[in-house]
Copies of this chain bind each other. A is one copy, B any other.
């Protein structure tokens, strides 16, 4: 399998693992040395660095998933990511970089499905033992007014 296919697989897996609430497996997509940032599009366009959420390394990301497992007893919902075609930006040997637009839908316990967020993933990564791993994920969300607490990863 070539590099592009492996990266497409990673992007698809990223969305499915969150949707399946397999957040520990989702963590496994990241390299040990990684960043994960959620930022409003407005701030990106105005070059304001303030993110909605920022994890500077995998330990922080792991803590976040663990605390979500411990405390989350409200805002019960299921997620559904529909991710558009991958735009390849850098495909050099050691590193890669892609963009992919996403739509994220949530369904609550009453069974009401609604559009939650749209935006764009900017993902940078490396290959470790032939497998792509995420090094720098920036999740751009098109709105700064996120309707509910940012509980699960995007």
Contact = CB atoms under 8 A, between A and B. Distances in A.
A69 to B, nearest CB: 17
A8 interface: yes
A83 B85 contact: yes
Interface residues of A, number: 43
A130 to B, nearest CB: 16
A65 to B, nearest CB: 19
A80 interface: yes
A144 B108 CA distance: 11
Contacts of A119: 80
Number of copies: 3
A86 interface: yes
Nearest to A21: B45
A87 interface: yes
Contacts of A114: 115
Contact of A84 (B41, B82, B144): B82
A88 interface: yes
B117 A115 contact: no
Given A83-B85, A120-B19, A142 B78 contact: yes
Interface in A85-110: 85-88, 99-103, 105, 107, 110
